[in-house]
Structure 1
């Protein structure tokens, strides 16, 4: 086994997250009830990936929740609220941009812009326009567990670009990212409407295009139904279902995703989370599906803050090729450090893919810290 360790300049960021105390909120309030808020986060992680024969270890920005900065504005407008949000990733060397062949760090590009979003909210609901979340964004990732900071239904954040290695030592052309997904919705340049909350239920509708990519002229539209409530005795429950369509500009047809997730958090600290989804591709492509489950527990074991632990399992079928199977399981612990507004985490993830070829399992260890301001 070969061990290759490389550390990037992100190490300075990691040092900062452990040395800087929790800052006061960077918020300016005006005399008419409005405000402007500056916010952001850094999420560096030491990531080690073992493809069965070689191990590569680097310090990178964790794509699970990448480092970013944003500006939020709110201003009352009659009985309504007008809001504006700008948010962008920082373009640091990212965990999605490396594999056994090296790195392909792109730096900051316009595709790192996450939100340029205008919205008007009132008793009638909320209307949004601009770059932001489609209705199905988050529908596969409803998760009330505290360990969800590091362990959730999308299992490829640390090593999506890594190739499976055959047991004969050769690299395949199939990546971890090719072999699984939770089909969760994306951010697009879109118009979106959210209904008011009715006894915990709400619905969303959106239509958009990928305005940040010059090579994507497809149309996207989706609808989602969400539920969130706390019952007598302190039991929390949340669930989402969504249907999303990508209409390809070349006339080849539509891709349809149906996804859903649910999570319950008990007063004892135990939580249970599940997700599932199917994808109907255009003719000639496989139609993959998946299901996911997790059990977790959280408590205040130390004076620093809350601790969460969990274990999960992912099962997928027909990814990349018809008849293939994907299995992944992970275990993680997340520790809150209230004094510096940071979540520190340690995670292990195991991936196994079978399409009739004999591949080694792919394993990843992640040690990281997400500091918010």
Structure 2
């Protein structure tokens, strides 16, 4: 770690990350109702992780919502809409690529390709093909709160590679990322069908493979059911449940995940979010972990810059990494919208506690970040 990084001040960081001009929408329309849209975002963060003995601090791209660039195309086709989406992460030094042993920066790889997705949408629903979201992608992360920009059901974005340190001062072989997950769905090279929305309900089905990895020949398939509605009085509610299967090519056993989440936002700005999931892994030596998650949030327009959101959450997991293990995590965050430059500035504290019968120090992370979208 260089002395210059250690000495970065909050003021200098904010100046560097949010003092950028707001960009007009990069949208190009044609005479037949179609358009091409260029978009993207940058999400640098000053992250400090304390393993109970040592503290590491870096400025990194936050994997919570990594920096990316993309293109969307929409063209009417009779009574249908044809769409194409191309999107890739930028491959910047990432918050998943560091720990007590340093930074292992991989640069841009094909794993950074997020979407190469073709779709046709009509009254019958939507058919999609290409690299993109499986049906369960997002089913564990339904979240109507504004503070969800920084605080949501996946708790390991900033320090997943960090090893827990024993109370004897020795680093274990267990990382924060090993000790918890929300089992949310993935992106794959897939075919997918989404039903039309009826009274707020819709469903999706998908089958895919990990076409970005030459070492993964497994089959993936899943189904999800979704609901979203705004009730009388302005109460917003959204929920999802999904079931996904990883069918291993080597016949060593399938992995099956059941996940769900729900979120409500009241007109007062008060919000509640819950999530949970279980994993059943037939492969020998694998555990069957489970978790639940809850968050209370509040938001309002308290300053002239834009909306402010605050929240506190709690994660409780069991049987991660080893049978009988116990995982606890809690966090608190504030997110401030800066409308003039289309930026979300956030400050978060996260505490991780893992117990497998060995005495570990808690792992703590502070994050100051800014996500600018264009």
TM-score interval for Structure 1 and Structure 2 normalised by the shorter chain: over 0.9
> Is it true that 1:70 corresponds to 2:70 in the alignment?
yes
For the residues of structure 1 that align with 2:287 and 2:108, how far apart are their CA atoms?
33
SS of 1:178 mapped into structure 2: helix
Give the direction of change, closer, same or farther, for the CA distance of 1:168–1:6 in structure 2 (3 Å limit): farther
Q: How does 1:55-66 map to 2 (within 5 A)?
A: 55-66=55-66
Q: How does 1:291-310 map to 2 (within 5 A)?
A: 291-310=292-311
Aligned residues: 370
Give the direction of change, closer, same or farther, for the CA distance of 1:5–1:351 in structure 2 (3 Å limit): farther
How far the C-alpha of 1:270 sits from its partner, in A, is: 0.2
Q: How does 1:175-324 map to 2 (within 5 A)?
A: 175-282=175-282, 283-324=284-325
Give the direction of change, closer, same or farther, for the CA distance of 1:327–1:163 in structure 2 (3 Å limit): same
How far the C-alpha of 1:13 sits from its partner, in A, is: 9.8
CA contact (8 A) 1:4 1:55 kept: no
Output one character per residue of 1:320-345: Cα deviation in whole Å (capped at 9) or x when no partner: 00000000000000000000000000
SS of 1:91 mapped into structure 2: coil
CA contact (8 A) 1:292 1:315 kept: yes
How far the C-alpha of 1:14 sits from its partner, in A, is: 6.7
CA contact (8 A) 1:312 1:331 kept: yes
For the residues of structure 2 that align with 1:303 and 1:323, how far apart are their CA atoms?
50
> Is it true that 1:344 corresponds to 2:345 in the alignment?
yes
Give the direction of change, closer, same or farther, for the CA distance of 1:21–1:4 in structure 2 (3 Å limit): closer
How far the C-alpha of 1:191 sits from its partner, in A, is: 0.2
SS of 2:111 mapped into structure 1: helix
How far the C-alpha of 1:18 sits from its partner, in A, is: 2.0
How far the C-alpha of 1:285 sits from its partner, in A, is: 1.4
How far the C-alpha of 1:21 sits from its partner, in A, is: 2.2
Output one character per residue of 1:23-42: Cα deviation in whole Å (capped at 9) or x when no partner: 11000000000000000000
How far the C-alpha of 1:19 sits from its partner, in A, is: 2.3
How far the C-alpha of 1:281 sits from its partner, in A, is: 0.8
CA contact (8 A) 1:317 1:326 kept: yes
Aligned position for 1:54: 54
> Is it true that 1:113 corresponds to 2:119 in the alignment?
no
RMSD in angstroms over aligned alpha carbons?
1.7
CA contact (8 A) 1:140 1:260 kept: yes
How far the C-alpha of 1:306 sits from its partner, in A, is: 0.1
For the residues of structure 1 that align with 2:3 and 2:266, how far apart are their CA atoms?
41
How far the C-alpha of 1:271 sits from its partner, in A, is: 0.2
SS of 1:148 mapped into structure 2: helix
> Is it true that 1:22 corresponds to 2:22 in the alignment?
yes
For the residues of structure 2 that align with 1:312 and 1:358, how far apart are their CA atoms?
24
CA contact (8 A) 1:6 1:59 kept: no
**Ranges in structure 1 where 5+ consecutive residues have no aligned partner:** none
Aligned position for 2:153: 153
For the residues of structure 2 that align with 1:54 and 1:357, how far apart are their CA atoms?
19
TM-score (norm 2): 0.97
Once the two structures are overlaid, the 10-residue window that deviates more, 16-25 or 54-63, is 16-25
For the residues of structure 2 that align with 1:93 and 1:173, how far apart are their CA atoms?
23
SS of 1:69 mapped into structure 2: strand
CA contact (8 A) 1:44 1:370 kept: yes
For the residues of structure 2 that align with 1:216 and 1:339, how far apart are their CA atoms?
45
How far the C-alpha of 1:237 sits from its partner, in A, is: 0.2
For the residues of structure 2 that align with 1:83 and 1:168, how far apart are their CA atoms?
56
How far the C-alpha of 1:363 sits from its partner, in A, is: 0.1
For the residues of structure 1 that align with 2:301 and 2:186, how far apart are their CA atoms?
34
